[in-house]
Structure 1
């Protein structure tokens, strides 16, 4: 996921995607703790995607004020 792709989405779409990624991160943490996680790189990808979305949302709130 690229930040330029995120900037084309609406705030509601970004918030929905953020909720989905947070749920995925939660599930990945449980899988890692129980030893069932196969793709360990996905944890980092999800964390970075969450950070990208939060950055774009923050940019929009700062631009609005």
Structure 2
């Protein structure tokens, strides 16, 4: 799907939309897995990892912003 390099090139708004879409897709896949057979069960893992990648990049950006604010305050 999308690798970390592509995600890092996205803006904060794009990352937020990607996270929202992936979470909704994961929810639908979980419901589908409970009610019927999935065509590709690996999609669950792929979406979980995408969500984790996006959250990691968001955390990295937040920490970098906090570090620059702390350095500017000194």
- TM-score by length of structure 1 reads 0.96
Runs of 4+ in 1 over 2 A off after TM superposition: none
Look up the match of 2:21: 20
Cα separation, 2, equivalents of 1:20 and 1:35: 22
**Which structure 2 residues correspond to residues 30-45 of structure 1 after superposition, within 5 A?**
30-45=31-46
Number of equivalences: 65
When normalised by structure 2's length, the TM-score is 0.85
Gaps of 5+ in 2: 67-74
Structure scoring higher RCO (CA < 8 A, sep ≥ 6) equals 1
The offset of 1:36, in angstroms, is: 3.4
Q: CA RMSD in A?
A: 0.7
The answer for unaligned runs of 5 or more in structure 1 is: none
Q: Tell which structure's C-alpha radius of gyration is larger.
A: 2
Cα shift readout 1:5-46 (whole Å, capped 9, x = no counterpart): 111100000000100000000000010000231110000000
